[in-house]
Amino acid sequence: MFDLLIKGGTLPDGTVSDIAISGDRIAEIAPNITADAAETIDATGDLVSPPFVDPHFHMDATLSYGTPRVNASGTLLEGINLWGELRDIATVDEMIARALRYCDWAASMGLLAIRSHVDTTPDHLNTVTAMLAVKDAVKDYIDLQLVAFPQDGLYRAPNGRENLIRALDMGVEVVGGIPHFERTMQDGADSLQDLCEIAAERGLMVDIHCDETDDPNSRHIETLAFETTRLGLEGRVAGSHLTSMHSMDNYYVSKLLPLIAEAEIAAIPNPLINIMLQGRHDTFPKRRGLTRVKEMQAMGIRVGWGQDCVLDPWYSLGTADMLDVAFMGLHVAQMSHPDEMARCFMMVTETNAAIIGLKDYGLHKGAVASLVVLDAANPIEALRLRPARLAVVAKGKVIARSPRGDATLNLPGRPAQVRRRVT
């Protein structure tokens, strides 16, 4: 007898199958499983997906929009300045409460794995204390991975390096950085060498806020690729944002992309936030603020969509829905072919899981029993509708349910009920 049985769901590859769960593991995936279960969910005609994964977020700042005031210019730099004020007045308890509320949203949307950058600039490290407490509080249903992120610069901040080391010693498990925010290009390059060496010595992964600027001369991704290869960190490094690439000379990019591919660096663009923040100094034509997604994918570079921000000093919107992120990314990257749209769905599930090194992820026997039942027939319809999560299963337990997104009509000669699904 199984603990939970999902009947008749359509998997992302189009296969129709049942999924049997025992404890926190998938015990069997096959058509027409006839064994009994303590609970059965009928998913006939609905998409059953592995859980959504966000490889880039800032949970210490989330749900703080308007504190200490609204970002009037809408720029990245004003957001950084606002956060610099907020992090010194926000208490540990307040940050924990905001983050746990966001995790409630995430759980309801089937977002069950998040990599969050945690600011290590302030000497008090309240941000780290708070996020470590949140990581422990949600561990039974959300895999929260933390990045030591020196927001004001590893070298630019007075105790930037010292505090990053302290954060790693406290249990933060990924090394972060922001080379384009250091005082000089050389300092930025030196910081990357230092950060990658720290990661190599400790056996950790690396995730760098890299070239989040409109300046085509910000080329720290080249240095990151070099250090990754020099230190044997292939497959353990991600470059987040990479927005300067949208302004780079095409010839230089033709040299750069093979270097990124050779180093096996993953790319994490954040479409919602970067198309809002970048190009603020442009009149027209105005740059999109998104890196070269399709070109990188064509080179075999792993690219996943990140959410980055929800209701914080940088971004005034957001719902914890990774399908919103993929939907926006699809439009800005002009990924309109059915194969490209299906790839966008994978970018917020399987691809992101691989980028953050999530173990035992997916819909296969022996995997962790985490999945989402969506009110859609297939991944492309899920992107179009951003539909209700009919059921969210986290490590074998149903943690959220939502009703279908149907509407009722009172129109002469028309159906009484409307569903926006067409497949």
Question: Looking at the DSSP assignment, which residues form a beta bridge with residue 260?
Answer: none
* Sequence-distant (≥ 6) Cβ neighbours of residue 92 within 8 angstroms: 126, 129, 130, 133
What whole-number distance in Å separates Cα of residue 151 and Cα of residue 387?
35
What whole-number distance in Å separates Cα of residue 371 and Cα of residue 393?
5
Going by C-alpha positions, the residue among 133, 166, 261, 273 that lies closest to residue 209 is 273
At 341, the amino acid letter reads M
Q: Is 128 within 8 Å of 118 (Cβ atoms)? A: yes
Q: Is the dihedral of CA 152, 155, 161, 162 positive or negative?
A: negative
Per-residue buried b or exposed e for 388-419, using 16+ beta carbons within 10 Å of the residue's own CB = bbbbbbbbbbebbebeebeeeeeeeeeeeeee
The number of angstroms, rounded, from the C-alpha of 380 to the middle of its chain's C-alpha atoms is 19
Q: Is 25 within 8 Å of 396 (Cβ atoms)? A: yes
Q: Is 399 within 8 Å of 106 (Cβ atoms)? A: no
At 345, the amino acid letter reads F
Which positions are catalytic?
Answer: 212
* Sequence-distant (≥ 6) Cβ neighbours of residue 64 within 8 angstroms: 86, 90, 98, 311, 312, 313
What whole-number distance in Å separates Cα of residue 186 and Cα of residue 191?
8
